[in-house]
Amino acid sequence: MILPIYVYGQPVLRKVAEDITSDYPNIKELISNMFDTLFRAEGVGLAAPQIGLPIRVVVIDLDPMGEDYPKYKNFRKAYINAHIIETSEETVSMEEGCLSLPGIHENVTRAKKVLVRYLDENFEPHEEEADGYLARVMQHEFDHLDGHMFIDRMSPMRRQMDKGKLNAMLKGKAHCNYKVKTVKK
Protein backbone atom coordinates (compact mmCIF):
# COMPACT_ATOMS: atom_id res chain seq x y z
CA MET A 1 0.00 0.00 0.00
CA ILE A 2 1.27 3.44 -0.94
CA LEU A 3 1.40 5.76 2.07
CA PRO A 4 1.44 9.58 2.03
CA ILE A 5 4.84 11.13 2.70
CA TYR A 6 4.86 13.83 5.36
CA VAL A 7 6.24 17.13 4.14
CA TYR A 8 8.29 19.79 5.93
CA GLY A 9 6.30 21.40 8.73
CA GLN A 10 4.76 18.18 10.02
CA PRO A 11 5.71 17.92 13.74
CA VAL A 12 6.55 14.20 13.53
CA LEU A 13 9.55 15.09 11.32
CA ARG A 14 11.13 16.93 14.26
CA LYS A 15 10.55 14.29 16.95
CA VAL A 16 13.16 11.82 18.12
CA ALA A 17 11.82 8.41 17.07
CA GLU A 18 11.41 5.57 19.57
CA ASP A 19 12.95 2.11 19.41
CA ILE A 20 10.40 -0.66 18.90
CA THR A 21 10.17 -4.27 20.07
CA SER A 22 9.48 -7.41 18.07
CA ASP A 23 5.83 -7.30 19.12
CA TYR A 24 5.26 -4.02 17.23
CA PRO A 25 2.01 -4.66 15.30
CA ASN A 26 2.30 -5.60 11.61
CA ILE A 27 5.95 -4.58 11.29
CA LYS A 28 6.58 -6.70 8.18
CA GLU A 29 3.52 -5.21 6.49
CA LEU A 30 4.68 -1.72 7.47
CA ILE A 31 8.13 -2.36 5.98
CA SER A 32 6.56 -3.70 2.78
CA ASN A 33 4.35 -0.59 2.55
CA MET A 34 7.38 1.63 3.14
CA PHE A 35 9.22 -0.07 0.24
CA ASP A 36 6.12 0.36 -1.99
CA THR A 37 5.91 4.03 -1.03
CA LEU A 38 9.62 4.55 -1.64
CA PHE A 39 9.40 2.91 -5.06
CA ARG A 40 6.38 5.03 -6.06
CA ALA A 41 8.13 8.22 -4.97
CA GLU A 42 11.32 7.20 -6.81
CA GLY A 43 13.50 7.63 -3.74
CA VAL A 44 16.36 5.59 -2.29
CA GLY A 45 15.51 5.84 1.41
CA LEU A 46 12.50 6.39 3.64
CA ALA A 47 12.27 6.75 7.43
CA ALA A 48 9.12 5.97 9.42
CA PRO A 49 8.73 9.62 10.59
CA GLN A 50 8.32 10.51 6.91
CA ILE A 51 5.10 8.47 6.89
CA GLY A 52 3.95 9.88 10.22
CA LEU A 53 5.27 7.21 12.60
CA PRO A 54 7.73 8.27 15.33
CA ILE A 55 9.53 4.90 15.36
CA ARG A 56 13.08 3.90 14.42
CA VAL A 57 12.44 2.12 11.12
CA VAL A 58 14.19 2.92 7.82
CA VAL A 59 14.10 1.28 4.41
CA ILE A 60 16.84 1.74 1.81
CA ASP A 61 16.64 0.55 -1.79
CA LEU A 62 19.74 1.18 -3.91
CA ASP A 63 18.88 -1.44 -6.55
CA PRO A 64 17.87 1.21 -9.13
CA MET A 65 21.52 2.34 -9.05
CA GLY A 66 22.77 -1.22 -9.62
CA GLU A 67 23.38 -0.79 -13.33
CA ASP A 68 25.87 2.04 -12.76
CA TYR A 69 27.12 0.75 -9.39
CA PRO A 70 27.14 -3.08 -9.38
CA LYS A 71 27.71 -3.28 -5.61
CA TYR A 72 24.19 -1.85 -5.12
CA LYS A 73 22.49 -4.41 -7.37
CA ASN A 74 19.67 -6.04 -5.34
CA PHE A 75 20.47 -3.83 -2.32
CA ARG A 76 17.20 -3.49 -0.44
CA LYS A 77 17.24 -3.44 3.36
CA ALA A 78 15.18 -2.50 6.36
CA TYR A 79 16.86 -1.07 9.45
CA ILE A 80 15.03 -1.26 12.77
CA ASN A 81 16.21 0.65 15.86
CA ALA A 82 19.12 1.94 13.81
CA HIS A 83 21.83 4.03 15.43
CA ILE A 84 25.10 5.39 14.09
CA ILE A 85 27.86 4.22 16.41
CA GLU A 86 30.82 5.87 14.76
CA THR A 87 31.62 8.22 11.87
CA SER A 88 34.88 8.82 10.02
CA GLU A 89 36.66 12.14 10.31
CA GLU A 90 36.95 12.23 6.54
CA THR A 91 33.95 13.94 4.95
CA VAL A 92 32.44 14.27 1.50
CA SER A 93 30.13 16.97 0.13
CA MET A 94 27.38 15.95 -2.28
CA GLU A 95 23.98 17.16 -3.42
CA GLU A 96 21.03 15.70 -1.54
CA GLY A 97 17.29 15.86 -1.86
CA CYS A 98 14.52 14.55 0.38
CA LEU A 99 11.04 13.20 -0.23
CA SER A 100 9.84 15.38 2.68
CA LEU A 101 11.38 18.47 1.07
CA PRO A 102 10.20 18.27 -2.57
CA GLY A 103 12.01 20.61 -4.93
CA ILE A 104 14.98 21.32 -2.66
CA HIS A 105 18.41 19.95 -3.55
CA GLU A 106 21.55 21.24 -1.87
CA ASN A 107 25.10 20.19 -1.09
CA VAL A 108 25.51 18.55 2.30
CA THR A 109 28.77 17.50 3.95
CA ARG A 110 28.69 14.12 5.66
CA ALA A 111 31.11 11.54 7.01
CA LYS A 112 32.61 9.31 4.33
CA LYS A 113 32.19 6.16 6.48
CA VAL A 114 29.84 5.10 9.25
CA LEU A 115 29.47 2.21 11.64
CA VAL A 116 25.82 1.42 12.37
CA ARG A 117 24.00 -0.91 14.73
CA TYR A 118 20.49 -2.08 13.88
CA LEU A 119 18.01 -4.95 13.84
CA ASP A 120 16.84 -6.55 10.60
CA GLU A 121 13.22 -7.44 9.75
CA ASN A 122 13.51 -10.56 11.92
CA PHE A 123 14.87 -8.51 14.84
CA GLU A 124 18.32 -10.06 14.48
CA PRO A 125 21.09 -7.65 15.57
CA HIS A 126 23.74 -6.39 13.13
CA GLU A 127 26.70 -4.06 13.11
CA GLU A 128 27.67 -2.80 9.68
CA GLU A 129 30.32 -0.50 8.30
CA ALA A 130 29.29 1.47 5.23
CA ASP A 131 31.08 3.94 3.01
CA GLY A 132 30.36 6.03 -0.04
CA TYR A 133 26.79 6.54 -1.18
CA LEU A 134 25.30 3.98 1.22
CA ALA A 135 26.93 5.79 4.17
CA ARG A 136 25.38 9.05 2.93
CA VAL A 137 21.90 7.56 2.57
CA MET A 138 22.15 5.97 6.03
CA GLN A 139 23.16 9.28 7.60
CA HIS A 140 20.37 11.12 5.81
CA GLU A 141 17.69 8.59 6.81
CA PHE A 142 18.97 8.04 10.35
CA ASP A 143 18.93 11.84 10.81
CA HIS A 144 15.15 11.62 10.33
CA LEU A 145 15.03 9.23 13.29
CA ASP A 146 16.65 11.92 15.44
CA GLY A 147 14.32 14.70 14.31
CA HIS A 148 16.78 16.25 11.83
CA MET A 149 16.47 17.06 8.14
CA PHE A 150 19.21 17.75 5.62
CA ILE A 151 18.34 21.44 5.57
CA ASP A 152 19.68 21.57 9.14
CA ARG A 153 23.12 20.76 7.69
CA MET A 154 23.05 23.45 5.00
CA SER A 155 24.76 26.79 5.30
CA PRO A 156 22.54 29.60 6.62
CA MET A 157 22.87 31.40 3.28
CA ARG A 158 21.66 28.35 1.29
CA ARG A 159 18.81 27.82 3.72
CA GLN A 160 17.79 31.47 3.32
CA MET A 161 17.78 30.99 -0.46
CA ASP A 162 15.33 28.07 -0.04
CA LYS A 163 13.11 29.96 2.42
CA GLY A 164 10.40 30.61 -0.19
CA LYS A 165 10.08 26.90 -0.98
CA LEU A 166 10.05 26.02 2.73
CA ASN A 167 7.37 28.63 3.45
CA ALA A 168 5.27 27.29 0.57
CA MET A 169 5.46 23.81 2.13
CA LEU A 170 4.36 25.25 5.46
CA LYS A 171 1.32 26.65 3.63
CA GLY A 172 0.46 23.21 2.27
CA LYS A 173 1.95 23.70 -1.19
CA ALA A 174 4.21 20.82 -2.19
CA HIS A 175 4.80 20.05 -5.86
CA CYS A 176 5.73 16.43 -6.50
CA ASN A 177 4.44 13.31 -8.25
CA TYR A 178 3.67 11.28 -5.11
CA LYS A 179 1.05 11.45 -2.38
CA VAL A 180 1.96 13.82 0.47
CA LYS A 181 0.55 15.00 3.75
CA THR A 182 1.16 18.69 4.33
CA VAL A 183 0.51 20.92 7.30
CA LYS A 184 -3.06 22.18 7.26
CA LYS A 185 -3.37 25.92 7.78
One DSSP character per residue, 101-120 reads STT--EEEEEESEEEEEEE-
Using CB atoms within 10 Å of the CB of residue 8, give its burial: 0 to 12 exposed, 13 to 18 middle, 19+ buried. Answer: buried
pLDDT exceeds cutoff 90 at 168: yes
CB 49 within 8 A of CB 145: yes
Separation of alpha carbons 175 and 167, rounded Å: 13
Q: Is 129 a catalytic residue?
A: no
pLDDT grade, residue 155 (50/70/90)?
confident
Residue 183: the pLDDT is 84
Q: Residue ranges per domain, the chain? A: 5-181
* Summary mean pLDDT of the chain: 95
pLDDT over 90, % of the chain: 91
CB 169 within 8 A of CB 97: no
Tens-digit pLDDT profile for residues 81-110: 999 999 999 999 999 999 999 999 999 999
Q: Which listed CATH number (3.90.45.10, 3.90.190.20, 3.40.640.10, 3.40.430.10) goes with 5-181? A: 3.90.45.10
* pTM of the entire predicted model: 0.95
**Closest C-alpha among 40, 79, 55, 25 to residue 180:** 40
Contacts of 173 (CB under 8 A, 6+ apart): 182
Residue 163 one-letter amino acid:
K
- Higher-confidence residue: 18 or 65? 18
Catalytic: which of 67, 89, 128, 141?
Answer: 141
